[in-house]
Amino acid sequence: MSDNKYILTIAGHDPSNGAGLTSDIKTFEAHGLYGLSVCTAVTIQNDIDFKQCVWTKVDVIIAQIEILFERFDINIVKIGIVESWKVLDHILKKLHLLNSDVKIVLDPIIKASAGFDFHETENQSLLDNLWKQCFIITPNYDEIQSLYPNLTIENTIEHISKFTNIYLKGGHRTYKKGWDALYHSGIVMINIPPNTDKVYEKHGSGCVLSASLASHLVLKTELEDAAKNAKHYTELFLNSNHGLLGKHSYNTIQHAQVTNPNSQ
């Protein structure tokens, strides 16, 4: 076995490679990590149009996970789209069975940027149990509003914070656009302001942020620093060009270590 530091993404395949598991792999490599992947779906999409999602059977997902854990030391897992909350619960239970100390970064993707709905929110007790199994979740404002539609955003944050940490992405907020927030340890809230005055929209930017955050956890960066560094890395990715498909530079991570330059 090599001295590679391994990290696993469990996500869908986007043929444009702007989002999903291939985007995650590029982000992991930019952080100096070796990315492993488990495919949950094959999507028919490009950077502006989403037409269909063909789901991977859950037993195939589990088989992919098991064979990777047989071979590699995996302590951090990033999860993207899955078919349903029930399938996610099955995946989470398997991960904790294979490694009781595993830390899971969940990007709870409910709707594609092109408008395709993946699954609807189900009963509250199931959602509560999911959060307990994750180290941190990374919703945007639209996603967190849809999780508990009968609660305000503030009450939803307070509720979920009882079970897990939250990185709330601010790209969809109506005020202070681009300001993110980290809620951790049940009582701590940290504002994460933008580091730049302007960014260019990118397909899959949410995937990139979550993958960067997960990468910093592999690199043993403290959570607050990991969140700030992931924010900065994502901004550099957004401004890598003017188009919808961004570029990952292997030098980008060196410039994104804004709070903990020695974390690697």
Going by pLDDT thresholds of 50, 70 and 90, the confidence category of residue 263 is very low
User: Poorest-confidence range of 171-185, 188-202, 224-238?
Assistant: 171-185
> Percentages helix, strand, coil for the chain, rounded to the nearest 5?
35, 20, 45
**83-132, pLDDT tens digit by residue?**
999 999 999 999 999 999 999 999 998 766 545 555 665 577 889 999 99
Task: Please identify which residue in the block is written with the tokens 């028919």.
Answer: 44
Q: What is the structure's pLDDT at 1?
A: 47
Average pLDDT, the chain: 88
In the chain, what's the furthest Cα-to-Cα distance?
50
Q: Is the pTM of this model over 0.75?
A: yes
Q: What is the structure's pLDDT at 262?
A: 42
